[in-house]
Copies of this chain bind each other. A is one copy, B any other.
Amino acid sequence: MTRENANGELAPPACSVGPVVLSLDAEGGDHAPLEVVAGALEAAGPELQVLLVGRPQVVEPLLQEADRRYVQFVPSRTVISCLDEPAAAVRALPDSSIVVAAQTVANGLSQGLVSAGSTGAVLAASLLTIKRASGIRRPAIVTTLPGERGPVALIDSGANADCRPEHLLEFGLMGVAFARTALGIARPRVGLLNIGEEEAKGTELARAAYGLLRSSGLDFVGNVEGRDLLTGAADVVVTDGFTGNVALKLLEGSAHSLFNRIRQAANSSLRARLGGMLLRPALRGLRMSLDPEEYGGACLLGVRGVVVICHGNSSRRAIANALRFGANTVRRALLAALEEEIAKLRPSA
């Protein structure tokens, strides 16, 4: 494993000291390449170097006046759109920006991948190109939710629709490694998303996963209901990727809907309008604390690199935050923690 540094020289393999190198899919996202490239230029520096992957004719013009010391361009030839069937497209288009970016991780040129492209394509490229980490059966997406008493890691929030109980146990272990390293929670409490507090509640899947999690050695607090997801009942909330994805999008939708209605209420009378004007700066802080752009995107856990999946509509600020988050996650040695957690479970893996 070798990687090129920003000057094109070969550098030793990535480790947790020295600058972090991340690959960025310059053509993924609704506002690519402009906002993505701008985000790279904002975040890159001596401690975080970015490999920017895209078609030369699209990306290079945006780099003409840029400081190129910490941003290196890697050419690709095509783009996978969100209309393509992800796994088929990843196989058919090895020269697409997302696959080339994943290859730079697989080849050890960088330690991780950041993309605002189609989640399915990022997932497929990561699984097929970067490959699963040792001992992992089902890589899963972890999303950090803005809980009332601090961040809450929801895993799986969309990678695996149909799951078996042992997959949910694996999600718990990976979630704990993530919460310890990326969120700095020393002994994360793990909950199972379910429809009641009692052990016998829920689907067959949930009941079987309850048993596995209880005897896992993790700090398992039992079932967590939808209404407790944000209250800090658990630091890591485990669920299948179908329920997790519905929950995640519902949270986004309901916050959006509520802010819309508050805006309407604040326009309903002169008094309300004045109140809204005075309250606005305080609410702006609240909105930002709930904004997915602020906490940098979701992570695909269980592959041989740090993979950060950004919102499709990411701005330059969101991309820059995702890069910084990815770099911190590399520095805090997430992958080592994850393999260590899994090894406790399956010493033979």
Chain A residues proximal to chain B, CB less than 8 Å:
85, 120, 148, 158, 161-162, 193-196, 200-204, 206, 225-231, 239, 241-243, 245-258, 260-262, 264-266, 268-269, 271-272, 274-283, 285-286, 289-290
Contacts and interface: CB of A to CB of B under 8 A. Distances in A.
Contacts of A226: 245-253
Contacts of A196: 120
Among A194, A196, A227, A290, residue most surrounded by chain B Cβ atoms (within 10 Å): A227
A251 B249 contact: no
B250 A229 contact: yes
Contact of A246 (B85, B241, B247): B247
Given A226-B246, A254-B258, A265-B283, 17 more contacts: A85-B200, A195-B245, A202-B242, A206-B242, A226-B249, A226-B253, A230-B254, A246-B246, A247-B247, A247-B250, A251-B254, A258-B258, A265-B285, A266-B282, A274-B275, A275-B280, A278-B278
Nearest to A286: B265
Among A195, A202, A272, A279, residue most surrounded by chain B Cβ atoms (within 10 Å): A279
Contacts of A268: 282, 285
Contacts of A245: 195, 226
B282 A272 contact: yes
15 contacts: A158-B195, A161-B206, A202-B242, A225-B246, A225-B249, A226-B248, A227-B250, A227-B256, A230-B257, A231-B253, A239-B246, A243-B246, A246-B246, A265-B286, A272-B278
A195 B272 contact: no
A120 B258 CA distance: 30
Given A231-B257, A246-B226, A275 B282 contact: yes
A283 B254 contact: no
B148 A260 contact: yes
A249 B227 contact: yes
A71 to B, nearest CB: 33
A183 to B, nearest CB: 19
Contacts of A204: 162
Contacts of A195: 158, 161, 241-242, 245-246, 249
Which 7 A-B pairs give the minimum distances between C-beta atoms?
A275-B278, A226-B249, A275-B279, A227-B253, A226-B250, A272-B282, A265-B282
Contacts of A286: 261-262, 264-265
B253 A250 contact: no
Contacts of A257: 148, 230-231
Contact of A271 (B148, B248, B266, B278): B278
Contact of A283 (B249, B260, B262): B262
B246 A269 contact: no
Contacts of A85: 200
Contacts of A251: 226, 250, 254
Nearest to A120: B196
Nearest to A257: B230
Contacts of A253: 225-231
Contacts of A242: 195, 202-203, 206, 243
B255 A258 contact: yes
A202 B194 CA distance: 19
